[in-house]
Amino acid sequence: MKAILLLGAPGAGKGTAAERIRDAAGYIHVSTGDMLREAVKQGTAIGREADGYMKSGALVPDEVMLRLVEARLQAGGPEDAYMFDGFPRTVRQADLLDQVLQRGGGGIEHVFFLDSPRDVLIQRLTGRRICRACGANFHQTNMPPKRAGVCDHCGGELYQRPDDCESTIISRLDVYNQKTESLIERYRLKGLLRRIDSSGGADKLAQDVLRVLQKS
Ligand code: ADP
Ligand code: ZN
């Protein structure tokens, strides 16, 4: 069981990069944000616990996240290659991931740190629109759909995430600085960190990541 991680602030482009890398490189995409939003929609026990934290831009408690991710990986085989998007976000989550991967006889291959300045992050998050049906990402100005409000891929309805309002965006960026940013140093010390400038377009970002993957 091996893994690559997409690490970066909200709005750094993790979801967009993940969509393209998954298609090009055959990784199993694990987005904890998508899993939680699905759990909220379904009204599961985890969804009911997570809902309030997500609305306010706080992290969902580690206990809940560890349960969610362990359950997700339990079904996996030793050959599986995962791409984590939005996990880990705390030291405790990172420790758990190391344990689970080691148990499966593998480990982390690369950690892609997607780096963009704060003003770019805020502009991206405020304009982001997502397909209700397939989860594809769009942006009002940077990556507009061909028809307003309609997904290019599946015709689904586009919506704005409730936590993409300005005040919640600021909270999420603060939480990232307090809880997640220290993971950059953790993975740098392990020689796993690959910093990618993610302030350009989505195509360039995906190319830069794929170039690293092809070399390894
Ligand atoms: P973003 O990276 O843009 O904040 P995500 O979809 O990854 O978007 O996360 C949305 C919300 O889901 C977070 O604000 C948080 O409440 C919750 N969440 C997602 N992943 C985790 C995680 N690994 N640990 C704790 N909470 C998480
Ligand atoms: Zn769609």
Print the SS3 string covering 125-185: HHHEEEECCCCCEEECCCECCCCCCECCCCCCEEECCHHHCHHHHHHHHHHHHHHHCHHHH
132 an active-site residue?
no
172 an active-site residue?
yes
User: 38-82 pLDDT, tens per residue?
Assistant: 999 999 999 999 999 999 999 999 999 999 999 998 877 778 899
Measured from the alpha carbon of residue 156, the closest ligand is 2
Is the residue at 216 inside a domain?
Answer: no
151 vs 15, higher pLDDT: 151
Produce one character per residue of 93-122: b if its CB has 16 or more CB atoms within 10 Å, e if not: bbebbbebbeebebebebbbbbbbeeebbb
Is the residue at 215 inside a domain?
Answer: no
Model confidence at 160, pLDDT cuts 50, 70, 90, reads very high
Can you tell me the distance from the alpha carbon of 160 to that of 175, in angstroms, rounded to the nearest whole number? 21
How many domains, in total, are found in the chain?
1
Domain that holds residue 169: 2-210
Report the pLDDT averaged over residues 107-116. Answer: 97
Is the residue at 111 inside a domain?
Answer: yes
What is the average pLDDT score of the chain? Answer: 94
Is the residue at 165 inside a domain?
Answer: yes
Is the residue at 62 inside a domain?
Answer: yes
Can you tell me the distance from the alpha carbon of 38 to that of 44, in angstroms, rounded to the nearest whole number? 9
Predicted TM-score (pTM) of this structure = 0.93
* Percent of the chain residues past pLDDT 90, beyond the cut: 82
89 an active-site residue?
yes
Is the residue at 184 inside a domain?
Answer: yes
184: pLDDT strictly greater than 90 = yes
Mutate to test the pocket of ligand 1, among 5, 51, 59 (most ligand atoms within 8 A of CB): 59
Look up the CATH number of the domain holding residue 96.
3.40.50.300
Is the residue at 179 inside a domain?
Answer: yes
Model confidence at 202, pLDDT cuts 50, 70, 90, reads confident
89: pLDDT strictly greater than 80 = yes
Ligand 1 centroid to Cα of residue 54, in Å, is 7
Measured from the alpha carbon of residue 137, the closest ligand is 2
Model confidence at 135, pLDDT cuts 50, 70, 90, reads confident
Report the pLDDT averaged over residues 116-134. Answer: 95
3-class state of residue 60 by DSSP: coil
Is the residue at 55 inside a domain?
Answer: yes
Q: Is the CB of 129 under 6 A from ligand 1?
A: no
